[in-house]
A and B are shown apart, each in its own frame.
Chain A
Amino acid sequence: MKKPAKAAKPATARGKAAPKAARARRNDAAPALTDADRVGLFQTMIAIREFEEQVQLSYLEGLVHGTTHLCNGQEAVAAGVCKALRDDDYVTYTYRGHGHCLARGMDIEAAFAELFGRETGVCGGFGGSMHLTDMERGLIGAFGIVGAGLPVAVGAGLSAQLAAREQVSVCFFGDGATNIGAFHEAMNMAQVWKLPVVFVCENNLYGEFSHISHTTPYEDLVTRAAGYAMENVKVDGNDVEAVYEAAAVAVARARGGGGPTFIECKTYRHRGHSRTDPAKYRHPDELAAWMKRDPIPVYRARLVKRGVITDRKADAIVAKAREASKAAAARAAAAAWPATGRDMAALTFA
């Protein structure tokens, strides 16, 4: 098989210069990170990790209903990509979307309350863990149907292109989603219309309980993008700065009218697919190898080594985030249930 040209790019996008279009704007982070940015990235990842850990505890307490899909291990993707975005950009994501919402600044108490099905939830308890929506933060939708968010992100990208506001639309999805039709229709439309869409594929090697090798003809999903003649890059999804830099380049390209980009983030989920999945189908060695590459300790060590942060400061960030999650979850758990017996007509139709 002839290797598509684009797939042959280096393993990460680090060190790549951003095009001119990445001119500084209000919330438009330039590719070069300051130390404060680095601490911010670390804090975002910690906030997500601590949130997910608390979700796990709350789940065991019976506060989270139905199911929930944790993103432990994949925090660098949400943190790195969202760092490259502006407040008015649009994002679609999936049932495994807590991290993306937090990285966009969703209030954690409102997020917990939504997971707990409470009145104070970000969607009033109507959506739940799989459907966190927050229009004020450009969080336009979490999709429980694999791949369904991609065409919606294309629509938001078209919206941005038509409005000429230089907004960007980002969609997060998994490796498994690249096998469904919606993915291909969305990729094709975005490329043919040169839309400001960034496709962020979180390749965590599994779709539910199936390893990618059982479902997909190759493990490097950038190959998919080459089929649509789309700019693409493969990046270490557990390296938050590498993710950020790839995203910044893609976002600048999209904002500058250069069209869509496909970013493949190689990553791994630490936990099972959902709360009922012990993930026995994974070889312990595989898990152990990836745990060594846990994006959080890896980044922490790097920041400490570079003198960006001290161990004490890092510990304080973790402790503070843990406390914040615990307290927010406690407040959410104390919140009222949504009123029943309501007239739902106004919620169903505008």
Chain B
Amino acid sequence: MAEREITYREAILTALQEEMRRDPKTLIMGEDIAESGGPFKTTLGLVDEFGPARVRDTPIAETGFVGAALGLALTGWRPIVEIMFADFLGVCFDQIVNGIAKHRLMSGGRVKVPVTIRAIGGAGLRFAAQHSQTAESWMLSVPGLKIVCPSSPAEAYSMLKGAIRDDNPVLVLEHKALLSSKGPVPVGSDDAAMPTGPRILRPGKHVTIVATLAMVGRALEAADLLAADGIEAEVMDLRVLRPFDASAVAESVRKTNRLVLVEEQVAAGGWSASVVADVVTEAFDYLDAPPIRVTLPDYPLPYSPPLEDEAIPSPTRIADAARKLMRDTGRG
């Protein structure tokens, strides 16, 4: 094992490479992932090492190849599928929601479904409304599915390895705005446990800020802005959307008494609503003010740069929410 400074994209590629070397029963399928290395180059060179049988270009048929992943998993393989844009999860929704997620329970626990679905989503690159969604909330209410959200190269690496080794269906929601971000990654690591809950990235005592994916970086920037005003924010990366455990957030709130949630999705049906609900249940008496959810506005994401920028939660908006909480609780 060696810690190396690599990009999120390289972290994904390295995780795929290591796990495909480790287990000959793994294979990856997706559109244009073999010779061309995927539209985001997350599979570059894999076909040279593992061959076209295990690094498989598919027709443009998300229902077809995601369904095929279920058939492969039931018959002894450990398939990984790449959904080019997370937005296309809508096209194979049924196979995931009614098939992959349910097959085990419907069989009375007699089958295993080790499928990894990687979906590259997220806004900020001017891809407009059909190619910019993180899809985080779409499958939140689907039991039988695990959902993880890597916010850094190290997380992308370890979550993907954990997902591939997991005997259950895991949806890994990657973020395309993070693909070029760099960070230390424990390359060659054999420790590939799936994360089980949130992680504190920056400790603080005045306000808890919870975020996922690209919003984690923005929350950390907001914490810098707040620090200049003497407000110490505790920044948490939620990491796991399913199975969902907000107790670490509740624990943080017991210390800070204030909660801001940052989500790159519209508020309706988002994970931040679930976190708030659980925190209210677990730590109601510790909340000094109603939590604030900073989300996308309730319209499809526009294309034009100023319009897109306006929609995505900015560090300033996040910091403003925290400041408001401080003011509302007589500390501003």
CB neighbours of A169 from chain B (8 A): 71
A189 near B58 with CB under 8 A, answer yes
A349 near B104 with CB under 8 A, answer yes
A151 near B95 with CB under 8 A, answer yes
* A229 CB, nearest partner CB in chain B, Å: 14
Interface mask (A124-143 → B, CB under 8 Å = 1, otherwise 0): 11110001010100001101
Q: Which of these binds chain B: A25-33, A54-62, A96-104, A158-166?
A: A158-166
CB neighbours of A131 from chain B (8 A): 106-107
- Indicate whether A85 reaches chain B with its CB closer than 8 angstroms: no
- 28 sample A-B contacts, Cβ–Cβ < 8 Å, listed by A number: A126-B106, A126-B109, A127-B107, A127-B108, A131-B106, A140-B75, A141-B103, A148-B67, A151-B64, A152-B67, A154-B67, A154-B71, A155-B70, A155-B74, A156-B71, A156-B74, A156-B75, A160-B75, A182-B95, A186-B67, A188-B59, A192-B59, A347-B104, A347-B108, A348-B144, A349-B144, A349-B167, A350-B114
- Indicate whether B66 reaches chain A with its CB closer than 8 angstroms: yes
Chain A residue at minimal CB-CB distance from B109: A347
CB neighbours of A154 from chain B (8 A): 64, 67-68, 71
Question: Quick one: which of B77, B108, B112, B113 contacts A124, CB cutoff 8 A?
Answer: B108
* B268 CB, nearest partner CB in chain A, Å: 26
* B50 CB, nearest partner CB in chain A, Å: 12
Question: Quick one: which of B59, B99, B107, B112 contacts A152, CB cutoff 8 A?
Answer: B99
- Indicate whether A145 reaches chain B with its CB closer than 8 angstroms: yes
Chain B residue at minimal CB-CB distance from A182: B63
Interface mask (B40-84 → A, CB under 8 Å = 1, otherwise 0): 000000000000010000110101111111111111110100000
C-alpha spacing A13/B202, complex, angstroms? 71
B67 near A123 with CB under 8 A, answer no
- Indicate whether A346 reaches chain B with its CB closer than 8 angstroms: yes
Q: Say which size band chain A's interface belongs to.
A: 35 or more
C-alpha spacing A122/B110, complex, angstroms? 10
A133 near B77 with CB under 8 A, answer no
A158 near B71 with CB under 8 A, answer yes
Interface mask (A258-294 → B, CB under 8 Å = 1, otherwise 0): 0000000000000000000000000000000000000
Chain A residue at minimal CB-CB distance from B68: A155
Chain B residue at minimal CB-CB distance from A157: B71
A90 near B75 with CB under 8 A, answer yes
B74 near A135 with CB under 8 A, answer yes
Given A145-B98, A188-B61, A189-B59: A159 in contact with B106 (beta carbons within 8 A): no
- Indicate whether A247 reaches chain B with its CB closer than 8 angstroms: no
C-alpha spacing A23/B95, complex, angstroms? 36
- Indicate whether A181 reaches chain B with its CB closer than 8 angstroms: yes
C-alpha spacing A150/B63, complex, angstroms? 10
CB neighbours of B66 from chain A (8 A): 151
C-alpha spacing A185/B79, complex, angstroms? 18
B contact set with A: CB distance below 8 Å: 27, 53, 58-59, 61, 63-77, 79, 94-95, 98-99, 103-114, 143-144, 146, 167-168, 243
A155 near B69 with CB under 8 A, answer yes
B94 near A145 with CB under 8 A, answer yes
Apart from A140-B71, A141-B74, list 13 A-B contacts with CB within 8 A. A90-B71, A123-B107, A131-B107, A135-B74, A148-B99, A151-B71, A156-B71, A181-B63, A182-B64, A185-B67, A188-B64, A189-B59, A347-B104
B108 near A121 with CB under 8 A, answer yes
CB neighbours of B70 from chain A (8 A): 141, 151-152, 155
C-alpha spacing A124/B76, complex, angstroms? 22
A148 near B64 with CB under 8 A, answer no
* B86 CB, nearest partner CB in chain A, Å: 19
Q: Which 5 A-B pairs have the closest CB atoms?
A: A155-B71, A151-B67, A185-B64, A124-B108, A155-B68
CB neighbours of A126 from chain B (8 A): 105-109
CB neighbours of A135 from chain B (8 A): 74, 107, 110-111
C-alpha spacing A148/B93, complex, angstroms? 11
Question: Quick one: which of A133, A148, A162, A349 contacts B27, CB cutoff 8 A?
Answer: A162
C-alpha spacing A349/B105, complex, angstroms? 8
- Indicate whether A84 reaches chain B with its CB closer than 8 angstroms: no
B106 near A156 with CB under 8 A, answer no
* A210 CB, nearest partner CB in chain B, Å: 21
Question: Quick one: which of A124, A140, A186 contacts B64, CB cutoff 8 A?
Answer: A186
C-alpha spacing A192/B106, complex, angstroms? 32
* A221 CB, nearest partner CB in chain B, Å: 19
Given A121-B108, A154-B67: A148 in contact with B75 (beta carbons within 8 A): no
C-alpha spacing A145/B96, complex, angstroms? 12
Given A158-B71, A185-B64: A148 in contact with B98 (beta carbons within 8 A): yes
- Indicate whether A153 reaches chain B with its CB closer than 8 angstroms: yes
* A180 CB, nearest partner CB in chain B, Å: 9
Q: For residues 297 through 350 of chain A, which have their beta carbon under 8 Å from a beta carbon of chain B? A: 344, 346-350
CB neighbours of A153 from chain B (8 A): 71
CB neighbours of B103 from chain A (8 A): 133, 141
* B232 CB, nearest partner CB in chain A, Å: 37
CB neighbours of A140 from chain B (8 A): 71, 74-75, 111
CB neighbours of B72 from chain A (8 A): 155-156, 158-159
Q: For residues 74 through 116 of chain A, which have their beta carbon under 8 Å from a beta carbon of chain B? A: 90, 92
C-alpha spacing A152/B65, complex, angstroms? 9
